[in-house]
Structure 1
């Protein structure tokens, strides 16, 4: 059969099952061409011994910020994608961002193609951030972008340079209903945040810790309920990104029980970190700026537990990194919020790095042990298969199955890592000068990563062994609904009432 690569002696994990040990993966032309036992070898076959470790699909991180104008000191595609493969992620979807002053989206997409082409260690796609969704853009440019494989948009309900009002949100949702693109939403109430921030500043409360005070959970809760209502009115699937609030999550859960197609995403920072990380540490009053992100880190360990509950009960469709890097030590990075001795959290660039640590952090709590928080299959769903389905990559990425790209992660046999791995900034591969997870211990780490059958990461023998030319732009199809369904009626409206105005 002419296999170029055979992976043997491991336990394969898919979104639905853990396969029996002994099943091998046969790879040809960068695709998985066979799963079976005792696959035939030839002199030209590279046989890779998994050494009894688990084998999972390459991670699909559907929410990363690389080469962003608002993060000039952060990762570009080269450093960000290098970090991705070192953490077992073989596909990222980054953001081409439209400015409010722009009356087209074509130029910003072309610009992001330039920033990524021949500069990525992993495969990549783009979401479009819409901040000025004119009728012309929605009628003529969005269909063109969909043909080009850019089939998802992100909308903001906060941040002055990006936020849309309800009427604009509804207009985009109506276009999504017609064109079928996937809609992501950052849900926080902008006016609540603005009022509190102004009053905090007037009282002199401007240190990084007050970022968490300025964005209370109720701001996320209200905006989440509102965008779910708008999505139900227009009968459109949405994904609410980087959720951190239990009540907001419960709005999603309640909508899902009514079979509404409301998807949700959370991130490792909302599973592991609390707002106390925003306070002064190690004699540096400003160090908390490293953990400024939005929504903010929450205050109580119960908030972390609530997010784990959402993972366990199926509320969350994906766990992404929201890798949004700005360096700490650079005057153009996090320290934009520090002028002399004056700290202003409003000026601190939002976001934390995490594309490399996402899979190891979550994998540490996956398994069959009593202290596990999710099954191995659920781990694959959240980090690979469901984001692939949701964003138009099903059949190509996110699964170890015949016909899919041979994106494969081989983890250590845990007997080889009895003490686990301690996360250290000095050992990570991003272009940022810190990690918010410094010193945390994880039980495993990707030993080998393959991108379309090519070994690109070998932790024991050279680390990154791929090439910056390996990554390819992914022309994505339209995403699929993972939870719920369309076609429902709105309570209080007549059957078919929507047809009068849709």
Structure 2
């Protein structure tokens, strides 16, 4: 791989902003300083551009089976991601009933292999916890999965009970893993859904009625208390409103290790979109649902004051015409999930940084550095430092555009942010030193994305603490070369 210099740009990290040149060698940042006047290396001019570390989207669902259908594929969605400025994703590998964690990891690597434009790591969502699965958690950690997800919602499908949560917290703590929780009370949601449908209330807007903020707040409180009882850290995903953010704020103030994310849809959209006519509201069905507009300011404040540490897209994309229509006569059957991975960086720069919600450095911290840290990928990912991967976004802060599905790379037939005006786009993007987006166009290939081995969240954890030997086949999974 040829050496490169990126010159004349403003380097922005989570802590500093400064003008410097970057030297890239063997896919990593080799030097930060001043480029020599005479060099035979390739030179990329970044005049007038910011240089960000590539965004790390910690929350995606690519090619995920869901109630008889499947989300948009790795191929289209990761190209859209990198053109928007995302260079690493952490996708949720969903355990099927009766499957082992190792089989789940293998299955997701097969889905991604040769089909991803970005580097990726994995979480495993545990949906069927047996004693054998519980004892397999250390092996999954050794295979590069350091985060596990539990659903308190989707009764009869993905939902786990409190005992499962508590036991998972305990085992994860032993091996330094981090448990992520979807916090909604599934029992109450199921009751409200049945009640509303019996009353003939089938439209998309009743999705949010069946999942009020109190249901999220209660589950957030309960999950936090269970984690405290187990003495384990907890990460709450997709916080959608001020009440649940306040539960997190209160727990953190008491000294508990509680961390959380929100998503662009909760910052920029509100529940009125669910009431759009002609079933258009189905496009905006996700869980937790969009909330009353007043929650937006509370979430922006929670990001600014440190109550929430990260932003992830929860990109879980379906077509409107032939997938969202599954719930035309029953809101509970509308596939839950929205798109957004192509535009989230420009949106957050425009409506976060430019609007004065948080600083440029905090922006980098929220979309890159902190996600990399919590997901066990830092400092390989998430920062600009000597020795880190040269995942870089050369960002033009002046370029303006209007978001529209007509021009998108995402595979779905609509864009959640149709008509939004943004200022600031990714001009060039490098993945481990290779230019894969040039002048806003994807120029890479789908064999470039690699599986990234995540390290345990707890620094005190060592691989020797995990029980069980790693087989030759497991080693292939660990390095992403399986199958």
Q: Does 1:104 align with 2:100?
A: yes
Residue number among 324, 332, 337 corresponding to 1:346 in the alignment: 332
- Whole-angstrom CA distance in 1 between matches of 2:86 and 2:104: 25
- Whole-angstrom CA distance in 1 between matches of 2:142 and 2:397: 43
Alignment of 1:393-412 (within 5 A): 393-412=377-396
Q: Does 1:272 align with 2:268?
A: yes
Q: Does 1:321 align with 2:313?
A: yes
Q: Deviations over 1:253-285 (max 9, x none)?
A: 11111121100110000000011111134xxx2
SS of 1:146's equivalent in the other structure is helix
- Whole-angstrom CA distance in 2 between matches of 1:192 and 1:246: 20
Q: Deviations over 1:364-408 (max 9, x none)?
A: 1354x6x31110110011100001111111120000111100000
1:383 matched residue in structure 2: 367
1:498 matched residue in structure 2: none
What is the CA-CA distance between 1:426 and the residue it aligns to?
Answer: 1.7
Residue number among 323, 337, 352 corresponding to 2:327 in the alignment: 337
- Whole-angstrom CA distance in 1 between matches of 2:29 and 2:281: 45
Alignment of 1:86-235 (within 5 A): 86-99=83-96, 101-139=97-135, 141-160=136-155, 161-235=157-231
- Whole-angstrom CA distance in 1 between matches of 2:377 and 2:359: 23
1:14 matched residue in structure 2: 13
SS of 1:304's equivalent in the other structure is helix
Q: Does 1:262 align with 2:251?
A: no
Whether contact under 8 Å (2:175, 2:456) holds in the other structure is: no
Q: Calculate the TM-score normalised by the size of structure 1.
A: 0.89
- Whole-angstrom CA distance in 1 between matches of 2:297 and 2:234: 24
Runs of 5+ in structure 1 lacking a partner? 482-502
- Whole-angstrom CA distance in 2 between matches of 1:38 and 1:402: 15
Computed over aligned residues only, the root mean square deviation of the Cα atoms, in angstroms, reads 1.5
- Whole-angstrom CA distance in 2 between matches of 1:195 and 1:408: 48
Q: Does 1:476 align with 2:454?
A: yes
- Whole-angstrom CA distance in 1 between matches of 2:38 and 2:59: 39
Segments ≥4 residues shifted beyond 4 Å: none
- Whole-angstrom CA distance in 2 between matches of 1:361 and 1:226: 33
What is the CA-CA distance between 1:108 and the residue it aligns to?
Answer: 2.1
Whether contact under 8 Å (2:101, 2:140) holds in the other structure is: no
Residue number among 342, 347, 351 corresponding to 1:365 in the alignment: 351
1:24 matched residue in structure 2: 21
- Whole-angstrom CA distance in 1 between matches of 2:241 and 2:84: 27
2:74 matched residue in structure 1: 77
- Whole-angstrom CA distance in 1 between matches of 2:44 and 2:406: 29
How many residues align? The count is: 457
Whether contact under 8 Å (1:32, 1:404) holds in the other structure is: yes
SS of 2:66's equivalent in the other structure is coil
SS of 1:395's equivalent in the other structure is coil
- Whole-angstrom CA distance in 2 between matches of 1:83 and 1:121: 9
2:462 matched residue in structure 1: none
Alignment of 1:372-451 (within 5 A): 372-414=356-398, 417=399, 420-451=400-431
Q: Does 1:464 align with 2:442?
A: yes
2:477 matched residue in structure 1: none
What is the CA-CA distance between 1:363 and the residue it aligns to?
Answer: 1.1
- Whole-angstrom CA distance in 1 between matches of 2:250 and 2:70: 40
- Whole-angstrom CA distance in 1 between matches of 2:397 and 2:282: 37
Q: Deviations over 1:215-267 (max 9, x none)?
A: 00000000000001001111111110000121110110111111211001100
1:310 matched residue in structure 2: 302
Q: Calculate the TM-score normalised by the size of structure 2.
A: 0.92
SS of 2:52's equivalent in the other structure is strand
- Whole-angstrom CA distance in 2 between matches of 1:427 and 1:150: 35
